[in-house]
Amino acid sequence: MNGTNDSRDWLAAHGVSEVECLVPDMNGVLRGKALPAAKFLKAIEDRALYLPSSAFLVSIDGRYSGSVDEGFAYQDPDMRMVPDVATLCLAHGGGPGKAYVFADAFHMDDRPWMASPRHVLRAVLDLYRQRGWRAVVAPELEFYLTAPNPDPDRPVTAPVGRNGRSESVQHPYDMAALEQFEPVIRRLYDYAAAAGLPLDTLIHESGTAQLEINFLHGDALPLADKVLLFKRMTRQAAQEGGMQATFMAKPIAAQAGSSMHLHMSVVDEAGNALFAGRDGADTEMFGHFIGGLQKYIPEVMPLFAPNVNSFRRIRPNHSAPANIEWSHDNRSCGLRVPAGGPTARRVENRLPGADANPYLAIAGSLLCGYLGVEEKIARSTEASGNAYRSRSTLPKTMEEALDRFAACDPVRAVLGEDFFQIYLRVKSVELDLFQSIVTSWERDHLLLKV
């Protein structure tokens, strides 16, 4: 769709009466406005759809994080929301006659609002475009179905399946276990098909009621949009089935964490793969791409592990590598080169959690690889055996991760000061809020003993 007329025809053909205009914030939370279809069409024509700029300053608990510019924070000027009509899709999970559309944020003089995660990802993709390259990505997203958890002080538990029982042991790749959630899965696939999400395979992962969905490979920005829509639809489908769905990185202490593995490759303008030569061997570019990931991932971990809970997942032997080793088809490595022919040569970044903002995780991964190619960074010797035993160079806490991220000048120069200032502020406020809480572990082990 290219404009108002195409959008009007599409809305009429699908009986859409309401459009949710979505603006992803720093945490990947979908903010925005719901509009009658006629108002949405008018907004496309006159570009008069606005949202307070403080939408990008909201922390995960709903509080405003403020701004380094106090005057700006209190003025809270509007941003212009410009719908990306190419993203219009049906929202069957949201009710009849409803559609979703993503919107980009602009200043009133039409400059892009560069703190927006969609613009951040575009800035990285532009670097590739300037070199005559196109990035190809394929996310793999893990999540848990759980019993309703109305009391956050109570641990998360597995839901009751079709057989009337809750899973109590692990069932990795078990088809019979997967069937226990068939009603929710079928509803989710129906919603995804209506919205045009490019879903591939679904499996039962190693955690109790933990599932993984694979997306078909494609362009980065549309796939980041679709990851957020998938999250929303999964929560809707689970709720309608009497369950809940969570994309927390580590929702259950004794179970595996949930990841968002990112498969990445690069092609030229003609679609030719650039990571493998005609002889099938890795190209020099591919080696440098991996070298860039190894050098810069430890410096940009807040893009892959954006919450305190994220670091509970990234621990050796907890189904999540805590290293930046690389190897062919070795899942204990943070960077895995999957099996496949030359045209499928790619690297899988296994460090991002399911809680990561997909725009920022993809942007960070592609930027690390790009800098490796630009700086001709050599990758390390290929790891072998159990890489969980490798020494970790990753930050172990959110405090350390934010400090290293703030000091990473090459990445800061590309992603921009606007984004860095706001992202660091939001994450610092969230960290401060978390550190002010007394946990059940402290009450259990310290209350009557120290």
pLDDT value at position 69? 62
Question: Does the structure show a pLDDT above 80 at 417?
Answer: yes
Question: Does the structure show a pLDDT above 90 at 96?
Answer: no
The token pair at 260 is 């968002």
Question: Does the structure show a pLDDT above 70 at 366?
Answer: yes
pLDDT value at position 399? 97
Question: Does the structure show a pLDDT above 80 at 351?
Answer: yes
pLDDT value at position 415? 96
For residues 313 and 304, the answer to whether their CB atoms sit within 8 Å is no
Question: Does the structure show a pLDDT above 80 at 125?
Answer: yes
pLDDT value at position 318? 64
pTM of the predicted structure, to 2 decimals: 0.96
The per-residue pLDDT for range 28-53, each reduced to its tens digit, is 999 999 999 999 999 999 888 999 99
CATH numbers and ranges of domains, the chain: 4-113 (3.10.20.70), 124-415 (3.30.590.10)
Question: Does the structure show a pLDDT above 80 at 3?
Answer: no
